């Protein structure tokens, strides 16, 4: 009885080669030829039982099925990567939101951000600091419902002076029963370019003023 289980590992029994197959691969035609040869050369005194035939057929079918499944999975993966690349490329020029403790103030524009609230809060305070860590703006947004609260800053300090464009640190907090709790912030920026990932990695987006980030980190597309 011939063992066909090794086919699943690429060490199949050598036979006649079909078009496009290597020496270690076996197709249905090769399998049938081997089975026919077995029938012709079996010992008449000890003929092969039907159960043995069924075992060989099952082994071959399983091995062949694994190969087909592997091929189908490879094709599916390629399609997914292609679809991901197209989706990433379509983001160029659009604005996205990502989790970040920093925001970007554009020349003549404003810094746009959001605060993630796991539940309703009675008070919400947002602070903006420059690269040196100096507080340049503070705002009390009062009570806010659960979800994401939008926030924008025009780039002016408490005296009304316009500050230079660039990155600014954003922090948000709420006070509950006398204790202060930090909250997660989300920044918005325009996608300038996309670089496709290698080895199954997610594409990388270059955001205006914020640098590079993974496509997986995008929370919202505006």
Q: Which of 73, 89, 105 is the C-terminal boundary of a domain? A: 89
Q: In angstroms, rounded to a whole number, what is the distance separating the alpha carbons of residues 72 and 93?
A: 35
Q: Which two tokens stand for residue 53?
A: 């035939």
Q: In angstroms, rounded to a whole number, what is the distance separating the alpha carbons of residues 222 and 208?
A: 15
120, 204: one domain? yes
CB 167 within 8 A of CB 103: yes
Residue 177's CATH number: 2.60.40.4070
30, 100: one domain? no
CB 120 within 8 A of CB 101: no
Range of 22's domain?
A: 5-89
Q: Which of 89, 109, 126 is the C-terminal boundary of a domain? A: 89
pLDDT per residue, tens digit, the chain (222 aa), is 444 444 444 444 444 444 444 444 555 566 566 656 665 565 555 555 555 655 655 665 555 555 665 555 555 455 455 666 677 778 888 888 899 999 999 888 899 999 999 999 999 999 999 999 999 999 999 999 999 999 999 999 988 899 999 999 999 999 988 899 999 999 988 899 888 777 667 788 899 889 998 888 888 887
79, 99: one domain? no
CB 48 within 8 A of CB 37: no
Q: In angstroms, rounded to a whole number, what is the distance separating the alpha carbons of residues 124 and 183?
A: 9
43, 132: one domain? no
58, 124: one domain? no
| CB burial of residue 103 (10 Å; 0-12, 13-18, 19+) | buried
Residue 218: closest CA among 193, 178, 191: 191
Q: Specify the pTM.
A: 0.57
- The DSSP code for 79 is H
Q: Which two tokens stand for residue 41?
A: 């050369």
**Total count of domains within the chain:** 2
């Amino acid at each position: 009885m011939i063992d066909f289980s090794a086919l699943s590992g690429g060490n199949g029994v050598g036979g006649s080669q079909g078009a496009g197959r290597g020496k270690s691969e076996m197709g249905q035609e090769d399998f049938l030829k081997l089975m026919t040869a077995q029938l012709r050369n079996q010992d008449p005194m000890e003929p092969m039982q039907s159960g043995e035939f069924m075992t060989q057929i099952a082994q071959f079918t399983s091995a062949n099925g694994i190969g087909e499944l592997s091929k189908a999975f490879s094709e599916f993966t390629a399609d997914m990567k292609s679809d991901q690349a197209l989706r990433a490329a379509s983001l160029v020029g659009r604005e996205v939101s990502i989790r970040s403790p920093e925001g970007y103030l554009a020349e003549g524009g404003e810094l746009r951000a959001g605060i993630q609230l796991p539940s309703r809060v009675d008070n919400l305070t947002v602070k903006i600091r420059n690269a040196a860590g100096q507080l340049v703006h503070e705002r009390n947004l009062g009570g806010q419902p659960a979800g994401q609260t939008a926030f924008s800053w025009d780039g002016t300090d408490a005296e009304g002076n316009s500050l230079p464009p660039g990155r600014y640190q954003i922090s948000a907090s709420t006070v509950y029963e006398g204790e202060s709790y930090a909250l997660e912030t989300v920044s918005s920026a325009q996608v300038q370019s996309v670089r496709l990932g290698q080895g199954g990695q997610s594409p990388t987006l270059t955001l205006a003023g914020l640098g590079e980030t993974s496509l997986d980190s995008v929370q919202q597309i505006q």
